[in-house]
Amino acid sequence: MATQPAVLITGASSGIGMTYADRFARRGHDLVLVARDGFRLEILAQHLRQETGVTIDVIPADLMKSGERALVETRLRDDPRIGILVNNAGAAMAGGYETQDADAVERLMALNTTALARLASAVAPRFVKAGEGAIVNIGSVVSLMPEFGQTVYGATKAFVLFFSQGLAFELGPKGIYVQAVLPAGTRTEIWERAGADPAALPPLMEVGDLVDAALVGFDRREAVTIPPLHDAAQWDAFDAARRAMLPGFGAVLPAERYRS
């Protein structure tokens, strides 16, 4: 694999994905940009080509449509230049669970989980064969916050976190780096697309700050990067508490507290 592998970024036409494209291009990486809005992708690609001189390919694709997603999967399987996958495409929904349309819920789950897993599946065998590569999955701190009231969105992001940790466990020894990035509220178009009232939004992190922090974690090879978390020891304690429970999960009898 080349010293500067190409980077495929989904959801690259705006927000976090667009900022990742800018940052990786300025690091000298060629890019493959994926999003539904081909016009916006081309504008971004032209701008970054002029600014950085890197090679940029554009794939307009709706990852919720199997035929269009297959184009991206094929590119990931077959293009040996691509050494980094940024799984950023995702969506949110406004409103409480009882008001959300079941078909919309299914589409949200398909984009936030199924598409992400399929793209990782497309590239993982090639990365393992090469003995190197990186997969960056964009999750959310909401995955740790069932009290936030975004049940389906949070559940999909909990999938992203677990999926990333599982991939790191399986693929890390084979030379593959997997990073889960957990943003908090970030100033992107996801709020407007979800139908949220801009006036009701809390203070938000700027997208450039979020991606720059995530790339610090990427360079450090962190497994889980949480840009808004100031005290890293809190995450370490959380993970240590989880690990401390693992031996008990092998018990063949119920815990004493459940025996009458």
Domain positions in the chain: 6-258
Separation of alpha carbons 155 and 112, rounded Å: 10
The pTM assigned to this predicted structure is 0.93
Question: How would you write the pLDDT of the chain (260 residues) with one tens digit per residue?
Answer: 447 999 999 999 999 999 999 999 999 999 999 999 999 999 999 999 999 999 999 999 999 999 999 999 999 999 999 999 999 999 888 889 999 999 999 999 999 999 999 999 999 999 999 999 999 999 999 999 998 888 999 999 999 999 999 999 999 999 999 999 999 877 776 656 655 655 666 778 899 999 999 999 999 999 999 999 999 999 999 999 999 999 999 999 999 999 98
Torsion of CA 79, 69, 209, 182, to 10 degrees: -110
Among 20, 97, 153, 258, the one annotated catalytic: 153
Tell me the C-alpha distance between 107 and 105, whole Å: 5
Strand ranges inside 11-130, DSSP E: 31-35, 56-60, 82-87
User: Strands 224-225 and 176-181, how do they pair?
Assistant: parallel
User: 94: which residues sit within 8 A by CB, 6+ positions away?
Assistant: 194, 195, 196
Residue 50: what pLDDT? 97
Largest CA-CA distance found in the chain, in angstroms, rounded: 72
**How high is the pLDDT of residue 20?**
98
Q: Which conformational region is residue 124 in: left (phi greater than 0), alpha (psi within -120 to 50 degrees), or beta?
A: alpha
Residue 1, pLDDT score: 43
User: Does the annotation mark 97 as catalytic?
Assistant: no
DSSP state of 173: G
Distance of alpha carbon 120 from alpha carbon 12, whole angstroms:
17
Phi-psi region for residue 206, left (φ > 0), alpha (ψ -120 to 50) or beta? beta
Q: What is the pLDDT of residue 199?
A: 61
Q: Under CATH, which number does the domain 6-258 receive?
A: 3.40.50.720
For 122-161, the three-class secondary structure string (H helix, E strand, C coil) is HHHHHHHHHCCEEEEEECCHHHHCHHHCCHHHHHHHHHHH
The whole-number pLDDT of residue 178 equals 98
